[in-house]
Amino acid sequence: MAGESDQWHEQGPFLIDASVIIDYQRAQGLRVHKVLGSEIGTAAISSLTPGHDARDFSLDDCRNLGLKIIEVTSAHILAAGELSHLGVYDACNLILAQENRCTLLTNDRRLWQAAQARKVPYMRGLAIMVLLVKRSRLEPSDACGIARRVVSINGYLTPAIFDDFCSQIKSYCRSCPEGRHGLTATGGRRSTRKRIF
């Protein structure tokens, strides 16, 4: 699946930004991260994410999901200060993704644009479900339900993004009758450009 980053990787390892954790947590879809880490590739988070950047997400939550924690050092914090257009948490995630050769998962526009500029592989939050459906690790109907909840929670994810997501999911359900998984358009304007959600 091509998209905004030519460096998009499907194998991981993946570094998950707080924006994705928070969206999936609120949408009751955190099991997606567990499946991602156990079935596709290593899934990790910055040590600043639990209890800080994602305040309601604890170290125990990380362990329960099998997420690897990558420690942020004082050197990372100092390097983050040089990326003045990003907050410290986002800058550390970008640095850690680059340093650990991870694909960065984020819903934060400034962060994925910074990743793109530095040639750090990235994907937006909904793309992980497309990957899991493609690999038969997540049912299309489950992916659609979680995506619907994520889009309703995150005001930056438009109906057009949801429509594009549904189109991607449908492409892996060719044998299914139209509409079987509830993958119907939301009335948003469809983009002609492929996205990494």
- In the chain, how many H helices and how many E strands? 9, 5
Contact 163, 146 (CB under 8 A): no
What is the reported pLDDT for 79? 93
* 167, 185 contact by CB (below 8 A): no
- List pLDDT tens digits, range 71-126: 999 999 999 988 888 999 999 999 999 999 999 999 888 998 999 999 999 988 88
pLDDT of residue 6: 38
List beta partners, residue 122.
104
Q: Please state whether beta strands 14-16 and 122-123 pair in parallel, antiparallel, or not at all (unpaired).
A: unpaired
Note down pLDDT in tens along the chain; length 197 residues: 333 443 445 667 889 888 888 888 888 766 776 666 666 668 888 988 876 766 778 878 877 888 888 999 999 999 998 888 899 999 999 999 999 999 999 988 899 899 999 999 998 888 888 888 888 888 888 888 888 888 888 888 888 888 888 888 887 765 443 444 444 444 333 333 333 44
22 and 57 in contact (C-beta within 8 Å)? yes
pTM for the whole structure: 0.77
CB 121 within 8 A of CB 103: yes
Query: Span 14-123: which CATH code?
Result: 3.40.50.1010
Are the C-beta atoms of 140 and 181 separated by less than 8 Å? yes
